[in-house]
Amino acid sequence: MTFKAILLAGLIAVSAQASDHLDTPSVIANPSADIGDFYGWMSPDGKHLDMVMDIVGRSFSDRLDYVFHIDSGPRFNETKASLIITCRFPDGTTVQCDADKERVRVFAGPRDDPFFNNVKGTREAYKVAKTGTSFDKAGCPVFEPAAVEGIREQFRHTDGGPATNFLKGWPTSAIVLSVDLGAVSLGGPVLALWSATATRDAQLDRVGRPMTKNALIGLFKPDAEADALKEAYNLEAPTTAESFIPELERALALYDGFDGTCGNQLMAGPAGEGRYRKLAALLADDRLWIDSRQKVCRRFMAVERGIAGDCGGRPPSMNAANIWRSLLVVGADSGFDDGLDHDETPPSDDVFPFLAPPQ
């Protein structure tokens, strides 16, 4: 069955709109293909999987496919079935989502992206981090106390003042789906999600978990080299991205040193080569994991971390960016943030279509 809905309306620079900021030149040049954010979580009644794909462009393209991938299985890292929902805009005014005759509620139109990020503070913190010249055996930088304090302070401030959301009021084009749980859990109750944009011939962009590509791939590398890595990353599926594990290991080593303590990152192993391999392998497969048996979704990466009683995923209200940073720097859900804790236009986790209208 095809579902139709009427469209409701007609870096660090333009490319810094969302958690998938700092994307590649080819994607930036085609904003209708540029995925800004991807969200996935369980409805409070436990009957539906809710998903949002934000597109940086102010309109959708009639030449692109907007694809939602949902794998399912009995447990984390073991999937046995897949559902692909492809949405298209054949005439620029309607959306058609092919969901293999499953029941899907669809919205497509302008929305406010609830992601918030102190982009300028992050850039300044990276500048301080580049001053590190000493590294331990695992590649973790050994910073002087003044540099550690400088990194933390820059992350939490903007131009020397209070932290400012660079993305305040940024409108995006959102595709919102609410799918019956039975349609997406044929392989088991544990779900793995990711999104992509593609032409009929090639995949252009992809996003699962936030931050992986644009905060870890090509970190501190020259622009041309970083862009080439991200272009290659966009072409892969999450399950075929093993070649990026060494690159992710190097970036994880840098984040681990931001608090002045090496080895306290999530999943960090003993000192020496291989300390960051376990987390790098997990992040290379950047699917967003959800335990559909749980109705509460508050702990980012709960499934990956073996946290019981939480669906994991990423609802729009989740402060995923700061949880992500804290896990990489101090190994906990909190303790290292960018000075921001909410979006100026609050989203909803339970009222469809979840994201607020654009300001």
Query: What digits encode the pLDDT tens for the residues 343-355?
Result: 999 999 999 999 9
Residue 341 falls inside a structural domain: no
How many other CB atoms are there within 10 angstroms of residue 350's CB atom?
12
Neighbours of 334 (CB within 10 A): 12
pLDDT above 80 for 231: yes
Q: What does the pLDDT look like over 125-160, one tens digit per residue?
A: 999 998 767 999 999 999 999 999 999 999 999 999
Decide if 116 is inside a domain.
yes
Judge whether 191 lies within some domain.
yes
pLDDT of residue 24: 80
How is residue 159 written in tokens? 């131009």
Domain assignment present for 335: no
Please report whether residue 356 resides in a domain.
no
Contact 120, 166 (CB under 8 A): yes
In a domain, 89, yes or no: yes
pLDDT tens digits for 158-184?
999 999 998 887 889 999 999 999 999
Could you tell me if 241 and 249 are in contact, meaning their C-beta atoms sit under 8 angstroms apart?
no
Q: Cβ(324)–Cβ(216) under 8 Å?
A: no
Residue-range definition of the domain harbouring residue 102: 2-329
Angstrom distance (rounded) from CA 250 to CA 234: 19
346 domain residue, yes or no:
no
Neighbours of 134 (CB within 10 A): 10
In SS3 terms, 36-66 reads as: EEEEEEECCCCCEEEEEEEECCCCCCCCCEE
Supply φ then ψ for residue 95, to 5 degrees: -110, 135
Domain count, the chain: 1
**Separation of alpha carbons 227 and 167, rounded Å:** 22
Residue 339 lies in a domain: no
